Amino acid sequence: MPHRRSRITPRRWAMIPALGIAAVTLLIACHPLVNPVDPQSTTYTGIPTGSDGDAPDPILPAAVKWELTASHNPGRMLPLEVTADGSFIEPRNAGSFELWITLSDSFDWEQAEGAVLWIAATVLSGDTLHFALHLNEVAPEQRRLGWHFWPDGITNQTRARLRLVDRNGTIIGERVVGRLIGDVDGNGTVESGVGGDDERIDALVGFPVGTDNPETIRADLDLDGTIQSMNDGNVVSDGSYLDTTLPATAPTFPD
Ligand SMILES: [Ca+2]
Ligand SMILES: [Ca+2]
């Protein structure tokens, strides 16, 4: 039985480099328009640009609600909403948090792929650290994106700017978070005594900790699920936290 072999003629061989160049050109043309993933890169602008100079359309709907959740006994993840005015301060003495961002409209998994949370975090000395966290969880049915993190990089007495970008580098939303353990009333200082944070705790003793009253979530500083003058008040008067403050200004991204 004759064995049939395909042959590549010299003329076909000559076409191979040309086909390779065409394939590479096509790949470059189709490549998403991205910013460097490292915001400390010298070429990072925060503003996505394409070969024609126009920003690409956002892949994801706008970010409308940002919440930090932490586990309060017995295993309840309770949220505090990060307000849009930049004044939010997270007072709980939690070892880790989750950040959940709710988007304005429905989206699918493919749209969420590659979304990144940029973080610029300023500490008391004024130094600012930049880092980026890749998406951990997607809940399209709730229109939410989730990150599990903390306290790495956002230690106590840090003011951080969080920016959600889609995989093209388009900005979907931004919030500022201050982290100050013990600052129940969120005024930027941990104070004891009349008008202080422990007085706020005393006023909430006996109230159930829950989303009906976010003040109760703020007052459960030790996250044991109830509000106590002693346990939660001791966080305020702890030498590590009493009279502490936040950096004066929130960081910005270099754009
Ligand atoms: Ca305070
Ligand atoms: Ca407590």
In this structure, which ligand is nearest to the CA of 231? Answer: 2
Place of tokens 């979907």: 172
- Higher local confidence (pLDDT), 119 or 31: 119
First to last CA, the chain: 71
Asked whether the beta carbons of 211 and 80 are under 8 A apart, the reply is no
Q: How far is the CA of 223 from the centre of ligand 1 (A)?
A: 18
Q: How far is the CA of 221 from the centre of ligand 1 (A)?
A: 13
The model's pLDDT over 169-226, given as tens digits with 9 standing for 90+, comes to 999 999 999 999 999 999 999 999 999 999 999 999 999 999 999 999 999 999 999 9
* pLDDT of 39 strictly over 90: no
DSSP state of 210: B
Q: Identify the pLDDT of residue 12.
A: 52
Q: How far is the CA of 71 from the centre of ligand 2 (A)?
A: 12
Looking at 2.130.10.10, 3.40.718.10, 2.60.120.380, 2.60.40.10, the CATH number of the domain 63-237 comes to: 2.60.40.10
* pLDDT of 5 strictly over 50: no
Q: Identify the pLDDT of residue 30.
A: 35
Determine which helix (DSSP H) or strand (DSSP E) holds 161, and give its type and residue range. strand 158-165
Partners of 72 in beta bridges: 76
Buried/exposed 144-172: b ≥16 CB within 10 Å, e otherwise: bbbbebbeebbebbbbbbbbbbbbbbbbb
In this structure, which ligand is nearest to the CA of 78? Answer: 2
Least confident window among 28-32, 113-117, 150-154: 28-32
Q: How far is the CA of 223 from the centre of ligand 2 (A)?
A: 5
